[in-house]
């Protein structure tokens, strides 16, 4: 079983408002086409609630009280919410609105190549990433970015993006 964990717990201070609520619908649409068994969204600084633009159908939202410790704390909360039958977790960022389901397929096809596999675009490590259960106990507060990974080239696909400020929001 593979579950998706969407990290949406940050304060979005550089953005100036809860960017998760703006970008999450696009991320979830990408995940709805992906071969995952469940989707868990981790909230923290801002509540993630269903609205006219955000459908949470088939999505479980979990709250991370320790979100301010860093992305690793949010990731640990999401992983802790997964059942014992989950073998791997697909990690997705809520501020990557151009998530390509083909990148997810490619990563999942390579998930046994290492404890953590991550997508690269034009030689730059990015997301999504897949963490095998064996890697879950080693997540530091600053997240999985500093951990050793097996890279999976996704140069032929569009990067999911990483929107930190309002001026980076493209036409969606």
Give the domain ranges of the chain. 2-166
Residue 101 to residue 99: CA distance in whole angstroms: 6
| Residue 15 per-residue DSSP state | T
pLDDT(15) > 90: no
pLDDT score at 49: 92
Pick the CATH number of 2-166 from 2.60.40.10, 3.20.20.70, 3.40.50.300, 3.90.550.10: 3.90.550.10
pLDDT score at 157: 93
pLDDT score at 171: 63
Which has the closest alpha carbon to 70: 126, 145, 148? 145
């Amino acid at each position: 079983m593979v579950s998706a964990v969407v990290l949406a717990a940050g304060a979005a201070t550089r953005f100036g408002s809860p960017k998760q609520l703006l970008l999450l619908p696009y991320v979830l649409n990408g995940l709805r086409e992906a071969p995952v068994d469940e989707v868990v969204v981790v909230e923290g600084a801002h509540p993630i609630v269903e609205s006219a633009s955000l459908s949470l159908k088939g999505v479980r939202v979990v709250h991370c009280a320790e979100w301010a410790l860093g992305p690793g704390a949010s990731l640990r909360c999401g992983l802790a919410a997964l059942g014992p039958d989950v073998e791997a977790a697909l990690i997705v960022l809520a501020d990557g609105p151009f998530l390509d389901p083909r990148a997810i397929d490619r990563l999942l096809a390579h998930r046994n190549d290492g404890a953590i596999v991550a997508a690269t675009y034009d030689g730059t490590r990015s997301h999504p990433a897949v963490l095998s259960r064996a890697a879950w106990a080693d997540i530091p507060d600053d997240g999985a970015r500093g951990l050793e990974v097996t890279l999976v080239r996704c140069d032929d696909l569009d990067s999911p993006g990483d929107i930190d400020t309002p001026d980076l929001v493209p036409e969606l």
